[in-house]
């Protein structure tokens, strides 16, 4: 698979970029509390986009034993809600 650890780095980097674009467009707007500086926002997006990518990659490396729906429930359970509105 292209996303597995041994997959295409070009495809993996493209997916990371898409996740980062999503993060800039949607995640930052959902943050509670004080607004972030541009540098903090940059690293926040990098942090969450890489976390999401790593979870997807691990799921693939483990043979996709969980359904996509189960993975969404797992992600919903592990993402800290206190950071978001």
Answer yes or no: are the C-beta atoms of 20 and 46 closer than 8 Å: yes
Q: 71 in a domain, yes or no?
A: yes
Q: 2 in a domain, yes or no?
A: no
Question: 39 is in which domain, residue-wise?
Answer: 9-83
Q: 1 in a domain, yes or no?
A: no
What pLDDT is recorded for position 46?
A: 95
| Domain count within the chain | 1
Q: What angle do CA 64, 82, 27 make, to 5 degrees?
A: 65
Q: What is the dihedral of CA 80, 63, 69, 18, to 10 degrees?
A: 60
Average pLDDT of the residues in 62-85:
85
What pLDDT is recorded for position 85?
A: 52
Higher-confidence residue of 31 and 73: namely: 73
Token pair of 55, please? 């979870």
| Mean per-residue pLDDT over the chain, rounded | 85
What is residue 15's three-state secondary structure? helix
Average pLDDT of the residues in 19-29:
87
This model's pTM is above 0.85: no
């Amino acid at each position: 698979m292209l996303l597995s650890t041994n997959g295409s780095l070009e495809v993996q980097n493209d997916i990371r970029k898409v996740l980062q674009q999503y993060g800039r467009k949607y995640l930052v707007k959902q943050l509670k509390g004080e607004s972030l500086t541009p540098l903090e926002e940059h690293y926040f997006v990098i942090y969450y986009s890489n976390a999401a990518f790593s979870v997807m990659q691990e799921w693939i490396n483990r043979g996709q034993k969980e359904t996509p729906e189960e993975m969404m429930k797992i992600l919903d359970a592990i993402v800290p809600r206190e950071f978001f509105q």
